[in-house]
Chain A
Amino acid sequence: QKEVEQNSGPLSVPEGAIASLNCTYSDRGSQSFFWYRQYSGKSPELIMSIYSNGDKEDGRFTAQLNKASQYVSLLIRDSQPSDSATYLCAVTGAQKLVFGQGTRLTINP
């Protein structure tokens, strides 16, 4: 079982719709959870971090964490073509960051 699992996609969403990205993790001791965005040929860029159960909103982005289900999600509202990228879920325990394989998201105009 992979430590952090994501659907590799591609996920195709029409412009203006809500994009929903999901991630599960295996280590129950994980403490910090991150979503990174990676444009093609670029390095990962942090867009959201979440540390406790529930929702965390930042602009058009909402991260959701459910530790009991070992599940993290990212919602992108009012999706824009510029949101087209690979989204990486990353989970930390003991200062070690483990990444999922990423979900490729395409926003169609």
Chain B
Amino acid sequence: EAGVAQSPRYKIIEKRQSVAFWCNPISGHATLYWYQQILGQGPKLLIQFQNNGVVDDSQLPKDRFSAERLKGVDSTLKIQPAKLEDSAVYLCASAWFGPSTDTQYFGPGTRLTVL
């Protein structure tokens, strides 16, 4: 079974530039998450999708971050304009919730450096 795919793996941009990340979840997983992990901290949830609808975006800085999940499969996360404090690893995860499982599986992440 293929895992969660993300691209690019690394991105370096200057502040005030824009950047986009892509995620393809595990086939059949209806729930998709974007996390931000700053060095030395645990992942922080930015947004959660159920199919193509947003379930939780309470911690998404909506003045600069946006995300979409068209057709309930792939998702993109965009930052515009980027700030220095956005330097982090952006993790995508997916899950299928059933009677005995609610495990999230993570992709390899995109490491963003904002200069």
Residues of A whose CB lies within 8 Å of any CB of B are 4, 8, 32, 34, 42-46, 49, 88, 90, 92, 95-102
Contacts and interface: CB of A to CB of B under 8 A. Distances in A.
Given A43-B107, A95-B95, A96-B48, 13 more contacts: A8-B40, A32-B102, A43-B109, A44-B91, A46-B105, A88-B42, A92-B102, A95-B31, A95-B48, A96-B56, A97-B33, A101-B41, A101-B42
Q: Is the interface of B mostly helix, strand, loop or mixed?
A: strand
Contacts, number: 45
Q: Is the interface of A mostly helix, strand, loop or mixed?
A: strand
Contacts of A44: 43, 91, 106
Interface string B35-54: 00000111111001000000
B108 interface: yes
Contacts of B76: none
